[in-house]
Each structure stands twice: as C-alpha cells, then as structure tokens.
Structure 1
Amino acid sequence: MFRRISKYWWCQMLGWTAYFVINVFFTYTFSNKFPNAFHYVSMLILIAFGVLSTHLFRSLINRFNWVNSSVEKQVLLFFTMMAGTGVVLYLGYYAVIKVLLRREISPVVLGILGSFLITTLWWLIYFAWHYIERNRSSQVNQLKLETTVKELELKTIKAQMNPHFIFNALNSIRALVDENPQRARTAITELSNILRSSMQTEKSETVSLENELNIVKDYLALEHIRFEERLSVVYEIDPDTLELQVPPMMLQTLVENAIKHGISRVIRGGSVYITSSLMGMQHVITIENTGQLVENDLNSHGLGLQSTRQRLSLLFGNKASFEIRNKDEQTVVAKVVMPLL
C-alpha cells in the first residue's frame, strides 16, 4: 500500500506534519501550555487549504511543463506560485474560520504575510528539488552519451582493424600458394581459427588474456609456416594474469607489428618474447622482438599502434599507458600497462 504513494505525496504529508508539530512545540514553549482544541482545528484547516492550494498550482505547472522553462521564467514562476498559493491559502482559511465558524483570527495583513511565508518555503523546496533532479538527470544523460560515443569509437576501431589484419594474413598465404600448396591449406585453416576467435570477441569491450593468447598462438602458428626456423617465440605468462581483461585483438596487433616491422626485416629472422605480469595494482604486458625502430617508425601513426593507444585511452583513461621503443641495438620493446579491473 505505502509503496504506491508517490514521493510528492510523501513530501506533502511529512512537510505539513512537520509544520503541525513545530507549531504545537512553539505554542507550548511560549505559553507553557498545550494549545486549546480550536487551535488544533484551525491548524488542520490551514494545512488542508495549504495542501489544496499547493497541489492545485503544482498541477498547473505539470500540465504546461513550466518547471523546465528557462531560469528567468522560473524565477517569475516562483513568485507567481508563491503569491497565488498564499492568497488561496489565506482566503480559504479566512472563509472557514471567520465566515463559517465566526471566530476571531489575526489581522488580515499578518495573516497574508504568514501565508506567504509558508508558501514561500514550500515553493523553495519544490523548485530546489526539481533543480537538483534536473541536474542529476543531465549528468546521467551526459554519462550515457559519453558511453555511447565510446562504444561507437571502439566499434569503429575494430571495424578498421579486422580488414587490416585479414589483408596482412592473406598476403602471407598468397606467398605460399605456389611454393607449397599443402602449407597454404594449413595456413588457411589457421586463419579460419583466428577469424572465428576474433568474431566471438567482436561484441566485447574486453576479453580475458587467455582468450587473447589463443588468437596470438594461432597467428604465430600461421607465421611459423612462412618464417620456419627464422622465427622463435617465448612466452612468460603469470598464471594469475590469464583471467585479467584486455582489449580484444590488442596483443595480436602488437605481435603482428613485431613480426611485420621487426622479424621480417632481419635476414636471419629473430625472436618474439611475450610476457604478462602483475606489478602492484597494474597488469603489465611486454612484447620484445628482434629488430630496430628507425626514425620513420618512431614517428609512425600506423593503424595498429594508433588503435592500441585509442582503445587503452577509451577503456582506462589516463590509468593505462603504452610505449614502444628500442631497448638496445638489436631489440624493440612494446609495453602496455593497464589497471586491474
């Protein structure tokens, strides 16, 4: 039953009850005795017309949606509502007490001022409540908009990445078609596994590191067909990090970058060293590969590295970081630092 009562009526009941209690308290404090029966009756009549007048004018506000007007109009509306309810409150109270019950009441000026004081407080609370609610709703809508924009940006990045990856993989397979058809068929199977895994994670903002590693292993198996003994891979994965969340295809993109811009440029080939570890409240992933970043690479804004920076920024803000640099004269290191989710 009580759950069906709206917040507005709860506020009406509690507010006027508080007025009744405060009035009795001060009457008792100043006169050192409880009010007589007529005083209680007159207060109940005043409260009845208070509820009637405020509810009547509130209904007008809701009907014409005046509460969402500009600030200037709301200031004018506040004084209009305060005056209107004050007059209705006093006239109703005066008509019942003076005309029907034929009892003496306070002077008209004092009575009207008292009514205005009551209605001013009521409308101050009413407009303050709606101002706070409107700001809260605005903040919620802003957050929803930012979330929607972020999701659209992430989907755009993913849509750009998949064709980029498929193009590179098909180039690798094309090189094998004439040289070794059997290996080409094996490579197509590996590519199918990668695409299947990437499609399963397409709808997710993050995936577990374990799932991401499975895609990387399929990709490196595909590259092993092309590089053979010229490519070696070493994994050093902390088991505690396998269930941690990472952006989908991020690790694969960095490994692909290591192969394309590192290993493939070295005649004798090289190695890729993938690590995942915990450092305090951070998840650190590094990919070290044989090769060197030249000046053009350092200033590059290629799709793979750019998408990595964008997704980390969208998902974690300034709590995540990404850097790629020459570790020494023979090794490049890419490092991703993410907060623990």
Structure 2
Amino acid sequence: MQVFQYALAVFVLGILISHGFRAVILRFGWIDKPFESVAVFFFAGILICATVYSFLLTCISMISTHDQDATFNDFWLRSFSQQMVFMSFWAVIYFLWHYVEESRNSQVRQLKLEATVRTLELKTIKSQLNPHFIFNALNSIRALVDENPQRARTAITELSNILRNSMQADKAETVSLENELSIVKDYLALENIRFEERLKVRYDIDPETLELPIPPLMLQTLVENAIKHGISREIKGGEILISSHVHDMQHEISIRNTGQIVENLNGSGIGLASTRQRLELLFANRASFEIYNLDTQMVMATVRMPLL
C-alpha cells in the first residue's frame, strides 16, 4: 500500500511540476528565443523543479515509512539525483518536440510563401506579355480594314482565337505544346498580312511532344521576337523554322530565323527576360534558354525543359 501511495505521489507531483515548468517556459517565451540566450534560465528551472520535487517526495516518503533510522538528507539526496535526471529528460524532450514542430511549421509557411510569390510573379509576367502581342496583331489588322475588308474579318477571328486561348492560358502555369502552337499559327497568320511573301514558316514538330507542358505564351513570345528582331529587319524577309523534339530526357524547342543578333538580346526585352523568369520559376535550374547567331545568316533560340 505504501508503494502504491508513493508511486501515485510521484505521478501526481510529476504532472503538476512539469506543467508548472511548462507554464513558466511559455510565460517568458523561452521556446521562441535562441537556446543560448535562455540556457541559464533553462538549467535553473530544472534545478528548482528537481529541488521542489525531491523535497515534496522526501516529505511524503518520511511520513509514509515512519522509518526513524532514515534521515531527511538520505531521502532527499537520493530523490534529488533521480528528479534531476527526470526533469532534464522531460525538458529536453519538450524542447526537442517544440523545435521539430516549429521547424516543420516554418517549412510549411516558407513553401506557401514561395508558392504565393511564384504565382504572383507568373501573373505579373503574363500581364506584361498579353498587351505586347495584342498591340502588334491590331496593327496588322488595321492595315487591312480599307484595302481588304474580307481578310480583315478573318484576321479579327484569328485575333479572337488568340485572345480566347490567352485568357485560358492565364489560369494555368503550363499548357500543352499543341495548344501553344494553335496560338502561334494564328499569330503568324496575322503577321503574314504585313510581310506577305517575305515571311516563310516551316514546322518540324515531333507528334509525341504535342502533349508536353510548356509555359503559356512562351513559344509565341519567341516567335514574335524572331519576327521583330530578325525578319522585319531583312529587306527580302526570311524564314522561321519551329522545332520540337525530345533529346536526353529533355523537351527541346528551337526557333531558327533569318537575321543576326547585333545587340545584347540575352538580357534585354520583356519577351526574352520573361522566358528566363518563367523557366526559372517553373523548373528552377533544370531548364535552360539560350539565343545566339547560328551562322552569318541565321539566329537560333533554344529552350530545354525537363520531362515532367
């Protein structure tokens, strides 16, 4: 019976003292501070709790045993060493649990923050792109209104297709290559109004890549760049070759066009900058983009993305 009473006292006092210690920790915010700044208070708290715990247990033990030969110091010293181990173990477990939980919550918050920032950045980039190519398309249609009304009506239909696909693209981080190609073909049909025989377009598309995801409006942006900085500067116009293949477990899209890079296009312009930004946001360092003079007459822009 005495053993049961003593065990019950150990259990009840342990709960009361550990909860009291926890209340002090929370009250002074020790768990929210660097451990080195609260280490002294931490160990002082363990010492005080162990002292109080062992004193109360010693009193209970002396009363329950009625052992006249046993001294208070004998009970207290034995109990104190045990309670120091117990309270130290409890405090270490408590702090470790808190730090692990806080670390996990911090990682979750960081991931949510990064996802939010990435979404906002993507929306900002796409909001810059849409007016850019719409403006060029409207210029092409304007030239037809008087001289060829029928073709102008067809061009308006093509522009509406671009706008419809663009609005849908704004809702997703990626679209299929097939969907992007439909926008590009409508865009090139509009540009053909301006350039007529000066613009020739060829496609080299692996059918197996049509369902692969790419950033929305990326291909259209690169084609527009090829026309603006390449074809439009050539008196006789030129050719654009759009290719899509899979090499070494990467989806490789290339746009080859007549022209030459006569300025530093690698870091300038909304179109090229947005291409790099979106690739970085979506694929980190697993994707790449480069543009360079292929020879003395052609420019090559190449995008490589991992297969998802």
Q: 1:82 aligns with which of 34, 46, 58?
A: 46
Structure 2 residue aligned with 1:34? none
- Contact preservation (8 Å) 2:261, 2:292: yes
- 1:207-253 deviations in Å (ceiling 9; x for gaps): 12121111111111222233333322222222222222111100000
Q: 1:141 aligns with which of 84, 106, 109?
A: 109
- 1:149-179 deviations in Å (ceiling 9; x for gaps): 2222221111111111112112222222233
> Which amino acid in structure 1 is aligned with residue 131 of structure 2?
P
1:216 aligns with 2:184: yes
- Contact preservation (8 Å) 1:255, 1:287: yes
1:98 aligns with 2:62: yes
Structure 1 residue aligned with 2:98? 130
> Which amino acid in structure 2 is aligned with residue 83 of structure 1?
L
Q: Distance in 1 between matches of 2:145 and 2:206?
A: 38
Residues 116/300 of structure 1: CA separation in 2 closer, same or farther (3 Å cut): closer
Q: 1:303 aligns with which of 270, 277, 296?
A: 270
Q: 2:128 aligns with which of 160, 176, 190?
A: 160
Structure 2 residue aligned with 1:171? 139
Q: 2:35 aligns with which of 71, 75, 83?
A: 71
> Which amino acid in structure 1 is aligned with residue 156 of structure 2?
I
- Contact preservation (8 Å) 2:291, 2:302: yes
Q: Distance in 1 between matches of 2:34 and 2:63?
A: 42
Q: Structure 1 unaligned segments of length 5 or more: list them.
A: 1-36
- SS of 1:125's equivalent? helix
Q: Structure 2 unaligned segments of length 5 or more: list them.
A: none
Q: How many Å apart are 1:63 and its aligned residue?
A: 5.5
- SS of 1:243's equivalent? coil
Higher relative CO (CA 8 A, sep ≥ 6), structure 1 or 2?
2
Q: Distance in 2 between matches of 1:297 and 1:63?
A: 60
Q: 1:250 aligns with which of 209, 213, 218?
A: 218
Structure 2 residue aligned with 1:237? 205
Residues 249/120 of structure 1: CA separation in 2 closer, same or farther (3 Å cut): same
- 1:246-296 deviations in Å (ceiling 9; x for gaps): 1110000001111222222223332211111111221100011122222x2
- SS of 1:332's equivalent? strand
- Contact preservation (8 Å) 1:290, 1:331: yes
RMSD of the alignment, in Å?
A: 2.4
Residues 48/124 of structure 1: CA separation in 2 closer, same or farther (3 Å cut): same
> Which amino acid in structure 1 is aligned with residue 200 of structure 2?
S
> Which amino acid in structure 2 is aligned with residue 337 of structure 1?
R
Q: Distance in 2 between matches of 1:334 and 1:42?
A: 81
Structure 2 residue aligned with 1:56? 20
Q: Distance in 1 between matches of 2:52 and 2:249?
A: 64
- SS of 1:336's equivalent? strand
- 1:65-103 deviations in Å (ceiling 9; x for gaps): 542245355324422431343134223322332224535
Residues 322/57 of structure 1: CA separation in 2 closer, same or farther (3 Å cut): same
Q: Distance in 1 between matches of 2:152 and 2:267?
A: 32
- SS of 2:144's equivalent? helix
> Which amino acid in structure 1 is aligned with residue 296 of structure 2?
E
Structure 2 residue aligned with 1:319? 286
Q: Distance in 2 between matches of 1:170 and 1:153?
A: 27
Residues 147/299 of structure 1: CA separation in 2 closer, same or farther (3 Å cut): closer
> Which amino acid in structure 2 is aligned with residue 122 of structure 1?
W
Q: Distance in 2 between matches of 1:101 and 1:234?
A: 100
> Which amino acid in structure 1 is aligned with residue 89 of structure 2?
L
Q: Tell me the TM-score normalised to structure 1 length.
A: 0.81
Identity of paired residues, percent?
58
> Which amino acid in structure 2 is aligned with residue 74 of structure 1?
V
Q: How many Å apart are 1:107 and its aligned residue?
A: 3.1
Return 241-250 or 168-177, whichever deviates more. Answer: 168-177
Q: Tell me the TM-score normalised to structure 2 length.
A: 0.88
Q: Distance in 2 between matches of 1:300 and 1:210?
A: 28
- Contact preservation (8 Å) 1:236, 1:274: yes
Q: Distance in 2 between matches of 1:290 and 1:280?
A: 28
1:332 aligns with 2:296: no
